[in-house]
Amino acid sequence: MANVTENTESQRMTFWEKIYLPEIARGLGLTLRQMFRPKFTRQYPEERWIPEGSYRGRPVLVLEEEGERCVACGLCSRVCPALAIEVRAGETTQEKERYPEKFEINMLRCIYCGFCEEVCPEEAIVMSKDYELVFSSQEEGILGKDKLLVPVAQLQERLEFLRQWR
């Protein structure tokens, strides 16, 4: 092992690097500069984040003037990996013939995967921008039709996103 030349980090360092102090001063200078740069903090309750159209928040049902788009085919309920959706179909005199008598999403089970939206043939269930979901009991976490139906005007951005990219 006599002709092995060591090449350790301490041998590669110059004299000024070895006494550390100039390097420490450089490091301190860096952190001092950071202190005067703009801050990234968002003052949350006052200053809310508005997501883009691509954001997958709480799934909602699209409500049009003549009623909901949903035809109660049950595909969303079938595809849901977390078994969060329950649909019971009823008959109607409208052109679409079927409507959801009962439509429930258990938000304690939902994993926001967006499969329900992807599988829906009518674009009737879409992911909204709603990300502030708080419940004080398990029963409150199960959302019925009264909470799921959202007017189509509020969901335009998501529908346009789906048309462009799906």
Partner 1 sequence: MTLTNLIIILVQAGILVNLMLVAAAYMVLAERKVSAYIQNRIGPNRVGPWGLFQSFADVFKLYLKEDIVPAAADYKFHALAPVIAIGVAITVYAVIPFSGPLVTIDGVQYGLTMAPDMNVAVLVVLAMTSVGVYGVALAGWSSNSKYSLLGGLRSSAQMISYELSMGLSVVGVVLIGGTLNIVELIEQQAANGWNIIYQPLGFIIFLVTALAETNRAPFDLPEAEPELVGGYHTEYSSMKFGLLYLAEYANILASSAIMAALFLGGWDAVPFVDEAALLGLEPTSLPMVLMGHVIFLSKAFLLVFVFIWIRWSLPRFRYDQLMNLGWKVLLPLALANIAVTGTVILIIEHFTK
Q: Is 31 in the site for partner 1 (CB under 8 A)?
A: yes
Q: Return phi, psi of residue 109, to 5°.
A: -100, -30
Q: In whole angstroms, give the CA distance from residue 59 to residue 145.
A: 12
Q: How far is the CB of 42 from partner 1 (least distance, A)?
A: 10
Q: How far is the CB of 123 from partner 1 (least distance, A)?
A: 41
Residue with Cβ nearer partner 1 (5 or 41) = 41
Q: Is 40 in the site for partner 1 (CB under 8 A)?
A: yes
Q: Is 39 in the site for partner 1 (CB under 8 A)?
A: yes
Stretch that binds partner 1, among 35-43, 69-77, 115-123, 138-146 (CB under 8 A): 35-43
Contact residue for partner 1 among 5, 7, 34, 164 (CB under 8 A): 34
- Nearest CA among 70, 52, 67, 164 for reference residue 126: 70
Residue with Cβ nearer partner 1 (33 or 166) = 33
In 139-150, which positions are buried (b, 16+ CB within 10 angstroms) versus exposed (e)? eebbbebeebbb
Footprint of partner 1 on residues 41-80 (CB under 8 A)?
A: 41
Contact residue for partner 1 among 16, 17, 22, 27 (CB under 8 A): 27
In 89-101, which positions are buried (b, 16+ CB within 10 angstroms) versus exposed (e)? beeeeeeeeebbe
Name the percent of the chain in helix, strand, coil, to the closest 5.
35, 20, 50
Structure tokens at 30: 């860096």
Instruction: List residues near partner 1 by CB under 8 A.
Output: 21, 24, 27-28, 30-32, 34-35, 37-41
